[in-house]
């Protein structure tokens, strides 16, 4: 992964090379393995012991680049016991070989010595497509819908259809031919002359699966979502609407306001 600026170091303790005190000197070069040390973020990561006493960052010493500077000059006889630098915030360091168990690498699924992801049943199979999938809409107003009757919404135009599984010319249904659990969402925009109760439905194989009822609908959009288990051969889903008022006909508006889409979640 690329970073802007300095790449963060891992979060282990780093003990710097020994530093010899020079009489009358406050600033000292920090080295790690003979090389100048600059892999830190803040002075508060430093543990500095001088004459057996831990020093207070910022107050007793500061750091800049590879230089550690004490608040006052040191004298002959002073001893810098050690300088230890703690890892950066949120870093966990590099685990030793053979110290991470399979249980730490996966939350669910069958563990094995060679795989850590569930290749047979994972969400989008770790980067695969959520297909079959479709997105379609009503391209022209659907008029004269009689009351107290389930009317299939004639979703007759497509944004996309990955597996040619949505029939937008006659049956207006999605038949995926691939088994799995699918997410579906539909929206029906109503255009009514008076307020009315309306029920949006997603049906599987012609039978109600999920219904959503809204009261006093006139110029509203009614939404419905659900997850349905589909087989790999004949199962299909359709979007329906039902008006309860018996005194007038209704309209399902076209365009971006009435649509239906779905996609496979898992096998």
Q: By three-state DSSP, how is residue 68 classified?
A: strand
Contacts of 128 (CB under 8 A, 6+ apart): none
CB 167 within 8 A of CB 175: yes
End-to-end CA distance of the chain: 32
Shared domain check, 259 and 139: yes
pTM of the predicted model over 0.75: no
Give me the domain span that covers residue 205: 130-266
Shared domain check, 80 and 138: no
Name the CA radius of gyration of the chain, rounded: 34
Shared domain check, 134 and 255: yes
CATH code: domain of residue 140: 2.60.120.40
User: pLDDT tens string for the chain (267 positions)?
Assistant: 555 665 555 556 789 999 999 999 999 999 999 999 998 889 999 999 999 999 999 999 999 999 999 999 999 999 999 999 987 655 555 676 777 777 676 655 555 544 454 444 444 444 557 899 999 999 988 887 888 889 999 999 999 999 999 999 999 999 999 999 999 999 988 876 666 788 899 999 999 988 887 777 767 788 999 999 999 899 999 999 888 765 455 667 666 789 999 999 987
Q: How far apart are CA 168 and CA 109, in angstroms?
A: 38
Shared domain check, 151 and 244: yes
Shared domain check, 227 and 171: yes
Q: By three-state DSSP, how is residue 163 classified?
A: coil
Shared domain check, 134 and 250: yes
Task: Please report whether residue 120 resides in a domain.
Answer: no
Shared domain check, 248 and 177: yes
Task: Please report whether residue 205 resides in a domain.
Answer: yes
The number of distinct structural domains making up the chain is 2
């Amino acid at each position: 992964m690329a970073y802007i600026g300095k790449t963060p170091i891992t979060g282990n303790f780093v003990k710097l090379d020994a530093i010899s005190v020079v009489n009358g000197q406050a600033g000292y070069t920090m080295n790690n393995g003979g090389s100048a040390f600059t892999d830190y973020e803040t002075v508060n990561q430093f543990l500095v012991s001088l004459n057996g006493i831990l020093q207070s960052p910022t107050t007793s010493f500061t750091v800049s680049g590879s230089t550690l500077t004490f608040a006052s000059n040191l004298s002959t006889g002073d001893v810098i016991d050690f300088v230890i630098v703690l890892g950066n915030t949120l870093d966990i360091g590099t685990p030793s070989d053979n110290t991470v168990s399979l249980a730490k690498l996966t939350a669910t699924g069958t563990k094995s010595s060679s795989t850590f992801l569930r290749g047979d049943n994972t969400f989008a199979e770790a980067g695969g497509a959520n297909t079959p999938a479709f997105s379609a809409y009503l391209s022209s107003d659907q008029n004269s819908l009689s009351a107290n009757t389930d009317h299939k919404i004639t979703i007759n135009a497509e944004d996309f259809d990955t597996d040619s599984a949505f029939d937008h010319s006659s049956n207006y249904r999605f038949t995926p031919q691939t088994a799995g659990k699918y997410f579906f969402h539909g929206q029906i925009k109503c255009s009514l002359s008076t307020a009315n109760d309306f029920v949006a439905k997603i049906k599987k194989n012609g039978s109600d699966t999920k219904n959503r009822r809204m009261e006093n609908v006139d110029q509203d959009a009614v939404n419905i979502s659900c997850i349905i288990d589909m087989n790999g051969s004949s199962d299909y889903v359709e979007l329906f609407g039902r008006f309860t008022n018996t005194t007038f006909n209704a309209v399902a508006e076209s365009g971006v306001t009435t649509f239906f889409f779905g996609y496979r979640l898992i096998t």
